[in-house]
Amino acid sequence: MSEAPEPAPSEREEERPRPTSRYSLYVGVAFLVLVVVATLNTFQTQESGVLGADVTQAGTALPEFAVPELVGGPEGDANIYQDDCATAENPCPAEQQRDPACALELDRVIRVCDLFDRPLLLSFWFSNPSDCPPTQDVVDEAYRRYGDRVNFLSVAIRGERPELEEIVRQRGWQMPLGWDRDGAVSNLYRVGLCPTVAYVLPGGILHEAKIGADELTAERLAAGIEGLLEESATRAEEER
């Protein structure tokens, strides 16, 4: 009895069952959805808590810090130790005791708590990108207009001091300037964008914060300061 002839290669390939692609498609789509959801959650988590992006921060007490004056101040990093220590225990454990920021008494060092006696405009900026420093021109103009009623502090985050001092000289700023050399204050306040501006009520309570150059036009900054003054006056009247 003769054997059936061996099928040609092309015939064998046609008879071989092909793997189904529908299941693979479903798995791929499901995986892509998971990736997208995870990415969105990551963005939301990263944005949560960033000063100026999280409106729930309004009404909270701001942390204390002390920074060297940018021009002519001492070398050194900012002090961000709080009165209650990082452990929130009071008194602090002996091994964790540090001189809190607002207990420092050093020449040419700015303590933010000294600025909490009246409304405060607190601004953060970077030397890079180059379009960030010009945003502080508006803050300096506001300082000249409102400096008799509102405290001001503009903090440069990181950067090389000679470069920062040159920026100050070129732009002729007169407002108080601090230097956050290692970014400790930036991390403490969760500054994420340049510029970031915080409107602070007397006592160091955050009224509101704004981020981005669009929020730092002369008109919007003036409106924010007027709102800060109005709210400060209202609270003072209620406390009488």
Contact assessment for residue 173 and residue 150, using Cβ atoms and an 8 Å cutoff: no
In this prediction, residues 181-202 reach a mean pLDDT of 95
Q: Which of 45-54, 99-108, 207-216, 223-232 has the highest mean pLDDT?
A: 223-232
Amino acid of residue 18: R
Are 207 and 139 members of one domain? Answer: yes
Are 137 and 234 members of one domain? Answer: yes
Which pLDDT band, with edges at 50, 70 and 90, does 135 fall under? very high
pLDDT surpassing 60 at residue 36: no
| Rounded Cα gap, residues 65 and 179, in angstroms | 11
CA 94 to chain centre: 31
How many other C-beta atoms can be found within 10 angstroms of the C-beta atom of residue 81? 22
In this prediction, residues 38-46 reach a mean pLDDT of 32
| Rounded Cα gap, residues 163 and 214, in angstroms | 25
Are 204 and 106 members of one domain? Answer: yes
Are 112 and 40 members of one domain? Answer: no
Are 43 and 153 members of one domain? Answer: no
For the chain, the domain total comes to 2
Range of the domain at 31: 17-47
Are 136 and 223 members of one domain? Answer: yes
Are 120 and 180 members of one domain? Answer: yes
Query: What's the pLDDT tens digit per position in 72-119?
Result: 999 999 999 887 665 445 566 667 667 788 888 889 999 999 999 999
Are 25 and 63 members of one domain? Answer: no
| Mean pLDDT of the residues in the chain | 81
Does 224 map to a domain?
yes
> Based on the number of CB atoms within 10 Å of its own CB, is 143 exposed (0-12), middle (13-18) or buried (19 or more)?
buried
The enclosing domain of 212 has a CATH number of: 3.40.30.10
Which pLDDT band, with edges at 50, 70 and 90, does 46 fall under? very low
Are 106 and 219 members of one domain? Answer: yes
Tokens, residue 15: 């008879």
Give the three-state DSSP class for 149: coil
pLDDT at 14: 46
Quote the percentage of the chain above a pLDDT of 90: 62
pLDDT surpassing 80 at residue 31: no
In this prediction the pTM is 0.75
Does 130 map to a domain?
yes
| Short-list 100, 44, 41, 108, CA closest to 76 | 108
| Rounded Cα gap, residues 105 and 51, in angstroms | 28
Task: Report the DSSP beta bridge partners of residue 193.
Answer: none
In this prediction, residues 51-56 reach a mean pLDDT of 87
